[in-house]
Amino acid sequence: MSTTTPAATRLPTSRHLADRLGDRILIGLTFAASLAAVLVMGLLIYKLIDGASSSISTFGFGFLWHSTWNPATSPGVANANIFGAGTLIFGTVVTSGISLLIAVPLGVAIGVYLSLLAPGRVGAVIGPLVELLAAIPSVILGLWGILVLAPVMHSTIEPALHDVLGFIPIFGAPSATGLGVFTAGVVLAIMVLPIIASISRDLFLSVPRELKDGALALGATRWEMIRGVVLDSTRAGLAAATILGLSRALGEAIAVTQLMGAGSLVGANLFNNGDSLASRLAEQVTNAQTSQQLAALFFCAVVLLGMELVVNLAAQLIVHRFERRQGVAH
Amino acid sequence: MSMSALDPASPLTSAGGNLRRRRRVDLLMRGIATAAAAVAVAILAIVIVSVASKGASQLSISFLTKDPVQGLGTVGGGIASAIVGSALIVAVATAMALPMGVLIAIYLTEFSKPRTARPIRLALDLLNGMPSIVIALFVYGLLVKGHQQTGFAAAFALAIIMIPLLARTTQEMLLLVPRELRDASHALGISRWRTIVGIVLPGALGGILTGMVLAIARAAGETAPMLLLCSIFSTSTTVNVFGTALPNIPYIIFQDSESGFPADYARAWGAALVLIAFILVGNLTARAMLARKRRLMSR
């Protein structure tokens, strides 16, 4: 026994050791990285609430509907350092709403075209082009909005809407520059569009072929098949797609800052200037004059974070319920 | 339901008034869907053509090699220092985010159990849906408040934005590596880490690099982190990422688009053309690589 070569017995053990050590190290490293991601997410929520704490304790829930925003360094001013995000939340909701009103019908229609109508090769070109729209940075869409879209809005679209629909207060007197809540909503729609289009295309492609063929075999026209089978069976998914689009629109700061014209939305006229939670952050964080103002800005971010969490969880819930129902059906 | 509108008594072949109406609605709706796709492509074309036509007149050797001039509305100058700054910030961000994203993806695909995977997936989903201005404010509170803006702070924020993107594409690519390769490796008595490092990762390398290109293209255009973390800078070229804020392209575009002077608008278009060209080239190559990879893998 003692004459067996040492290498024959020792080599396997050393290899085993290296293997086990290597496994441990790799598991440890990958787990540490994953843990770090969870910690960053937790730290993000903590840091934002921590930064806002003085503002939260001063203004409480009233912050959500009060509309004063009065950063002041001299103590004599009335309402000095009173902050509320009412108009900002309003601006965020209105711009996001405009963008969804435009992007959802358009995006679903594009999804229908790409998944059911387009000839294979045409769809293979147009699909990626629509997705490429999502790759354009918001700052460039904002620049384009200021210098190309806003003049057109000012000279043509806003007066036309005012002339035809002027009896509705939201289409009031056109703006002086073309910048305003409406223009910001239109550019947001361009950002939301590719999200909704690509999700709805994937949804429509997932509808079983037999169902579509069955409807056509029963004599339904293509549109009747789309309305009765495709759109009907993907309602939940379309709702989730809309919510994901909303999530994108709520948090967009840069293009909205460039296009809203900075100023609080007064009254219903969509052609007026406005401000949103995200755009107020973009404008004021680096030149906040007092610690109260900075805390109020952190509070805005907490409100935005809360909105995003609710919206994302709602989308996940819808998808989850939908998947469960599908699971039962099959 | 539309089917109930059908009258079973009428033969489907004769084009009666009802059928003619239905066909007309069908044609109209299909026309609308086609028009919608045309609108989206037209918007993309209009934006790119606007940037290209207005930026091209700016583009010159001196625009790419001179630093920006001081002061709003000043004619001349270039974006050299901003190109250097943007490249540095994105490089530092990638150096942080790429290993993190790949390690997380390896953990999720190779090691995790459902119970540990769920919180990690949730955190990645939440980070992915987080507005970049909120991430920027978080980093502002963490690194800048009470100190000063640095290129590193901006890179850190970009890394947080990139990690969920990198983790997701890497995961997708790791899952594409055939199960049989792993099984064969295990059957030969090769340990898990050697299997992963020697067989699974090389198999997915092309896909991971593609994901990296896409993440870089996304990060290069992010403006909100620059605004909060890297916007107060001197316009000369500097490589001091950890000490000061660096000039960068997204902030130059933002600032010049807000100024109201024609000279600034012109510089903004020029910078926008440089940025959009970089992003489009990155996206198109990544897409081509990805399509090729998927085709090869699924064969």
Q: What is the ipTM of this complex?
A: 0.86
Chains A, B: CB pairs < 8 Å: 268
Q: HSE (CB half, 13 Å, CA atoms) of A32?
A: 7
Query: Could you give the CA distance from residue B63 to residue B136 in angstroms, rounded to a whole number?
Result: 29
Question: Above 80 in pLDDT, residue A146?
Answer: yes
Provide the β-strand partners of residue A69.
A83
Q: Is there a contact between A140 and B221 if contact means CB atoms under 8 Å apart?
A: yes
Question: Above 80 in pLDDT, residue B89?
Answer: yes
Work out the average pLDDT over A105-123: 89
Q: Is there a contact between A30 and B106 if contact means CB atoms under 8 Å apart?
A: yes
Residue A110 included in any domain:
yes
The single-letter DSSP state of residue B69 is P
Query: Could you give the CA distance from residue A99 to residue A121 in angstroms, rounded to a whole number?
Result: 30
CATH of domain B63-297: 1.10.3720.10
Amino acid at position A145, single letter: G
Q: Does B177 touch chain A (CB under 8 A)?
A: no
Q: Is there a contact between B25 and A135 if contact means CB atoms under 8 Å apart?
A: no
The nearest CA of chain A is from the CA of B237 a distance in Å of: 22
Neighboring chain A residues of B116 at a CB cutoff of 8 Å: 34
Query: CATH number of the domain that A216 lies in?
Result: 1.10.3720.10
Q: Is there a contact between B257 and A258 if contact means CB atoms under 8 Å apart?
A: yes
B residues 24..63 contacting A (CB < 8 A): 25-26, 28-30, 32-37, 39-41, 43-44, 46-48, 50-51, 54
Residue A15 included in any domain:
no
Work out the average pLDDT over B134-139: 93
Who has greater pLDDT, B58 or B70?
B58
Q: How many CB atoms lie within 10 A of CB B11?
A: 9
Q: Does A216 touch chain B (CB under 8 A)?
A: no
> Among partner residues A43, A106, A133, which is closest to B44 by beta-carbon distance?
A133
Question: Above 60 in pLDDT, residue B12?
Answer: no
Residue B265, pLDDT score: 86
Who has greater pLDDT, B294 or B61?
B61
Least confident of A12-26, B48-62, B99-113, B142-156: A12-26
Residue A69, pLDDT score: 77
Q: Does B281 touch chain A (CB under 8 A)?
A: no
B111 CB-near residues (< 8 Å, 6+ apart): A27, A30, A31
Average pLDDT, rounded, for chain A: 82
b/e A65-103 (16+ beta carbons within 10 angstroms → b): eeeebebbeeeeeeeebbbbbbbbbbbbbbbbebbbebb
Residue A40, pLDDT score: 93
Residue A215 included in any domain:
yes
Residue A246 included in any domain:
yes
Task: Residue B48: name the closest of A245, A137, A276 by CA.
Answer: A137
What's the gap between Cα B80 and its chain centre? 23
> Could you give the 3-state DSSP secondary structure of residue A69?
strand
Interface test with A, best of B257, B264, B292 (most A CBs within 10 A): B257
Range of the structural domain that residue A288 is part of: 86-329
Q: Does B198 touch chain A (CB under 8 A)?
A: no
A residues 222..281 contacting B (CB < 8 A): 222-224, 226-228, 232, 244, 247, 250-254, 258, 278, 281
Question: Above 50 in pLDDT, residue B2?
Answer: no
Residue A109, pLDDT score: 93
The nearest CA of chain A is from the CA of B258 a distance in Å of: 7
Query: Could you give the CA distance from residue A310 to residue A302 in angstroms, rounded to a whole number?
Result: 12
Q: Does B2 touch chain A (CB under 8 A)?
A: yes
Residue A75, pLDDT score: 64
Give the model's confidence band at A98: pLDDT under 50 very low, under 70 low, under 90 confident, else very high. very high
Q: Is there a contact between B99 and A193 if contact means CB atoms under 8 Å apart?
A: no
Least confident of A53-62, B117-126, B225-234, B254-263: A53-62
> Among partner residues A40, A48, A222, which is closest to B30 by beta-carbon distance?
A222
Q: Does A310 touch chain B (CB under 8 A)?
A: no
Give the model's confidence band at A194: pLDDT under 50 very low, under 70 low, under 90 confident, else very high. very high
Task: Residue B78: name the closest of B243, B268, B297 by CA.
Answer: B268
Give the number of domains in chain A: 1
Structure confidence by residue, pLDDT tens digits, A197-236: 999 998 998 888 888 888 888 888 888 888 888 888 888 8
Query: Could you give the CA distance from residue A111 to residue A115 in angstroms, rounded to a whole number?
Result: 6
Domain segments of chain B as ranges: 16-56, 63-297
The nearest CA of chain A is from the CA of B60 a distance in Å of: 20
Cβ–Cβ < 8 Å for B238, B157: no
Q: Is there a contact between B131 and A251 if contact means CB atoms under 8 Å apart?
A: yes
A residues 48..77 contacting B (CB < 8 A): 48, 50-51
Residue B16, pLDDT score: 62
Query: Could you give the CA distance from residue B3 to residue A214 in angstroms, rounded to a whole number?
Result: 11
Structure confidence by residue, pLDDT tens digits, A282-295: 888 888 778 888 88
Task: Residue B131: name the closest of A300, A13, A217, A199 by CA.
Answer: A300
The nearest CA of chain B is from the CA of A120 a distance in Å of: 14
Structure confidence by residue, pLDDT tens digits, A117-127: 888 888 888 88
Structure confidence by residue, pLDDT tens digits, A8-47: 444 455 567 777 888 888 889 999 999 999 999 999 999 9
> Among partner residues A37, A136, A138, which is closest to B104 by beta-carbon distance?
A37
Cβ–Cβ < 8 Å for A220, A228: yes
φ and ψ at residue A69, rounded to 5 degrees:
-140, 95
Only one residue has tokens 């086609």, namely: B34
DSSP string, B235-281: SS----TTTS----HHHHHHHHHHH--HHHHHHHHHHHHHHHHHHHH
Question: Above 90 in pLDDT, residue A87?
Answer: no
Residue A52 included in any domain:
no
Q: Is there a contact between B106 and A227 if contact means CB atoms under 8 Å apart?
A: no
Give the model's confidence band at A330: pLDDT under 50 very low, under 70 low, under 90 confident, else very high. very low
Residue A229 included in any domain:
yes
Question: Above 50 in pLDDT, residue A1?
Answer: no
